[in-house]
Amino acid sequence: MEARVAVNQQKYRDNQQHIVSAIGDYGAASQAFTWCGLPRVPRGNEGQIVAGTLSKKDMTDLYSIAMVSSSGEARRVYDEIMVRANGRCPFCGGIGQTSTLDHFLPKANFPLFSVLPSNLVPCCKDCNTGKSSSFGTQAHEQPLHPYFDAAKFFEQRWVHGQLHRSDPVSISYFAAPPEDWTPLERARAFAHFVDYKLAGRFGIQAGAELAKVVDQRKRSLRRLQAADFRDYLMDGATTNSSDLNGWNRTLYATLAATAWFCEADFNDPSSYLP
């Protein structure tokens, strides 16, 4: 085993210039938001050469053996990336707790970036297993990168909700980026929303919280005037403890912006049901 490890280590040293070049390519793509243009290989064929004398298997083994399964410096980097997420998955706005590192560019297609920290994002199980296992070939198909993407994706609202006059009251989520965004930016937001199945996942999360708000309005908040109740809801929509485009703040922003919800007497369903 020791001889095998020594040979592998020398192989990576011999190909260091190719690895360094790949790191530079990833950095350039991150600045231009053009990850889809980086060299990719088909799935399978583990022996395929991807750079110099390095095979696809050499690079994926570097992640699974030298990083995930080791107790050395590479594992320390892995753990440090996980800790920085504070347990909140950045792909879904913190619905799930981070349990692994996701390869933003899948290692099955982009093995050269298997251990590149910039390509490793703390991720919950649902985001890791539920999203598409391939990466779009066109710029508009690229999901959002939590580290490198434009600030507007995280500082401007593009996820919205719509309340439904039902019993119980329900909400559906949809993506509607600002009109002044470029067509590419809007398309990428849509791609992310669909890729990570946020409509359904947000809706599931919101169900219990919406029921709680309605129950509070029936009891402890029943004496509030509509305007005061709206102010209460706006507190939930503006808290910095949740992501702007996450399910929670979007829920409260939708409730506060819906006049019939703020004015309804939930002890009298006829006041809000159609």
Lowest-confidence pick of 101-105, 158-162, 182-186: 101-105
The three-class DSSP label of residue 88 is strand
Q: How far apart are CA 63 and CA 75, in angstroms?
A: 9
Model pLDDT, residue 24: 97
The pLDDT confidence band at residue 132, using thresholds 50, 70 and 90, is low
Highest mean pLDDT: which of 45-54, 99-108, 206-215? 206-215
Q: Is the pLDDT higher at 140 or at 85?
A: 140
Q: For residue 65, what pLDDT band results from cuts at 50, 70 and 90?
A: confident
Q: Which two tokens stand for residue 165?
A: 């006059």
Provide the token pair at 230.
């709206």
The DSSP 8-state label assigned to residue 172 in this structure reads E
Can you say how many angstroms the Cα of residue 267 is from the centroid of all Cα atoms in its chain?
A: 38
For residue 77, the tally of other CB atoms under 10 A from its CB is 14
Q: pLDDT by residue (tens digit) across 87-103? A: 889 999 889 889 889 99
Given a cut of 50, whether residue 4 has pLDDT beyond it is no
Task: Give the whole-number percent of the chain exceeding pLDDT 70.
Answer: 96
pLDDT tens track for 198-255: 999 999 999 999 999 999 999 999 999 999 999 999 999 999 888 999 999 999 999 9
Which pLDDT value is given to residue 66?
81
| Residue 209 phi, psi dihedral angles, 5° rounding | -65, -40
Rounded CA separation 30/21 (Å): 14
Mean pLDDT calculated for residue range 76-81: 90
pLDDT, averaged across the chain: 92
Structure tokens at 33: 């938001």
**7 pLDDT above the threshold of 60:** no
> Which residues are bridge partners to 121 per DSSP?
102
The per-residue pLDDT for 229 is: 98
- The confidence score (pLDDT) of residue 44 equals 85
pLDDT number for residue 9? 79
Give the pLDDT confidence score for residue 70 in this predicted structure.
Answer: 74
Residue 2 has pLDDT above 50, yes or no: no
Which H or E element spans position 54? strand 54-55
Give dist(CA 156, CA 258) in Å, integer: 20
